[in-house]
Amino acid sequence: MAETKQEASSQPLHVLVFPWLAFGHMIPFLELSKRLARRGHAVTFVSTPRNAARLAAVPPELSARVRVVTLDLPEVEGLPDGAESTADVPPEKVELLKKAFDGLAAPFAGLVEEACASGGGAAGFSTKPDWIIQDFAQNWVWPIAEEHEIPCAIFLILPVAIMAFIGTRHENEAHPRTTAEDYMVQPPWIPFPSTIAYRRHEAEAIAAAFRPNASGVSDIDRFWQMQRPCCRLIVHRSCPEVEPRLFPLLTELFAKPFVPAGLLLPDDAVDDDGPGSDQSFLAVLQWLDAQPRRSVIYVALGSEAPVTADHIRQLALGLELSGVRFLWALRRPVGHAGALLPDGFEARVAGRGVVRAGWVPQVRVLAHGAVGAFLTHCGWGSTVESLLRFGHPLVMLPFVADQGLITRAMAARGVGVEVPRNDDDGSFRGDDVAATVRRVMAEEEGEALARNAKELQKVLGDRVRQEQYVDELVEYLQRYK
């Protein structure tokens, strides 16, 4: 007897989840996987061996429903040995990582074929996958999914604004962008005022994403493959409260549903395990405990922003000149072996500034009462974590991709201030860092920024509503499978 529509919509799903090889992608994909598992669905999480080993463990109560399957990344000439994520390579070698990633097409096809032939296959589940939820980069998944009649969804860990800026292939052909200036204005297919445009130095970088790289295909062409019929949903780590008007606009523009998954904040607000949770971080926590409430600015530019040695020197100069207390999670640029900080810097800021070169438990730091603001590259994950969970105003220093768009949007909301940059080459001066830090931490303007940040936190920090977005996503998965 055929099952009814209602019975089909209540059946547990088996979802194959496959993120791009960057921790800023893998971590939200894992958060989404855990939320699906908590709702009774089975998840096969696909990555490479080293990345799987470095990700946080799946909670024991979910281990029966979340299985991690690894595929060996093929060797590519020029890619360092053992490099399996963007955190392992300098920015100029990320395109080689994409080339290696494309080499996973055949083993992934084998995994899917086995899963379809034996129910759950190597993943250990008893059912054929109902969905493949993939990232932007796998333009080679579509024929595999079509062969086995498995619908796909794209899960983008980026804000919806980036897709609004990119637009469809048709819109780009109708409104070609051929100069840097074309990327510095709002696209004509956005019919209302917005902050969706890039500065000159950012525009030149985003224009490069429209050109083929060492993998033989451009990043934007990878995005545009989502317009194929077997891609039925585009899911974003976002929600209408933080990006009003864009979800319905893009649903109409791309002629398929753009669905919010919510912000997917981890359940535990203060405890993140890792090497920074050991005794080596104890002295830093003790120093934080001794500082006045909301007097410290936390400084972290993410694990993958293309930060140079000169950026670090100017940032050090700015923190020194600001006179503000700070905790700096300093990441050495990949491949840089020389001195980074100016001579005598740590001695001159001793007592009011701490530089931590090792891993930092960021959530724990942001939750600390001594922290009053965040100097950030405005990656979406860090922005969500600091502003929307803890209500910290931002000092914003964007570098790539969506970070400039996020920075403009947060400035328009009155929750942060951008460090001035040279518009041609993106360089910045220590003096401007110092002045921006003081604006947020030590001047009257900072009080207004802090109030606005707390108000936005109240709106976006509704855990019940955030979980409802996941429930609604599951309804879409049931309806469109």
Give all strands of the β-sheet with 394-396 in edge-to-edge order: 353-356, 325-329, 296-300, 371-376, 394-396, 416-418
At 227 the pLDDT is 78
- Is 270 part of any domain? no
Tokens of residue 351, six digits: 């007592």
Tokens of residue 353, six digits: 């500034």
* 223 and 289 fall within a common domain: no
At 389 the pLDDT is 83
* 315 and 175 fall within a common domain: no
At 9 the pLDDT is 55
At 387 the pLDDT is 82
Q: Give the long-range contacts of residues 447-451, CB within 8 A, separation 24 or more.
A: 448/414, 449/393, 449/394, 449/414, 449/415, 449/416, 449/417, 450/294, 450/372, 450/373, 450/391, 450/392, 450/393
At 117 the pLDDT is 82
Specify the pTM.
Answer: 0.88
What's the pLDDT tens digit per position in 28-49? 999 999 999 999 999 999 999 9
- Is 48 part of any domain? yes
Amino acid code (one letter) for 403? Q
At 268 the pLDDT is 53
Phi, psi (deg, nearest 5) at residue 416 = -165, 165
Domain that includes residue 393, residue range: 275-460
- Is 268 part of any domain? no
Cα separation, 188 vs 335, whole angstroms: 41
* 292 and 391 fall within a common domain: yes
CATH code at position 100: 3.40.50.2000
- Is 201 part of any domain? yes
Which residue is it, tokens 């003081």? 438
DSSP code of residue 376: E
- Is 152 part of any domain? yes
Half-sphere exposure of 138 (CA within 13 A, CB side): 27
Positions in the chain short of pLDDT 50: 1-8, 269-271, 273-277
At 276 the pLDDT is 40
User: Count of domains in the chain?
Assistant: 2
* 256 and 360 fall within a common domain: no
* 30 and 131 fall within a common domain: yes
Cα separation, 152 vs 145, whole angstroms: 7
Strand extents, DSSP E, 237-295: 258-260
Cα separation, 260 vs 472, whole angstroms: 9
* 360 and 427 fall within a common domain: yes
- Give me the helices (H) in 128-168, please: 141-147, 160-166
The closest alpha carbon to 162, from 212, 198, 138, belongs to 198
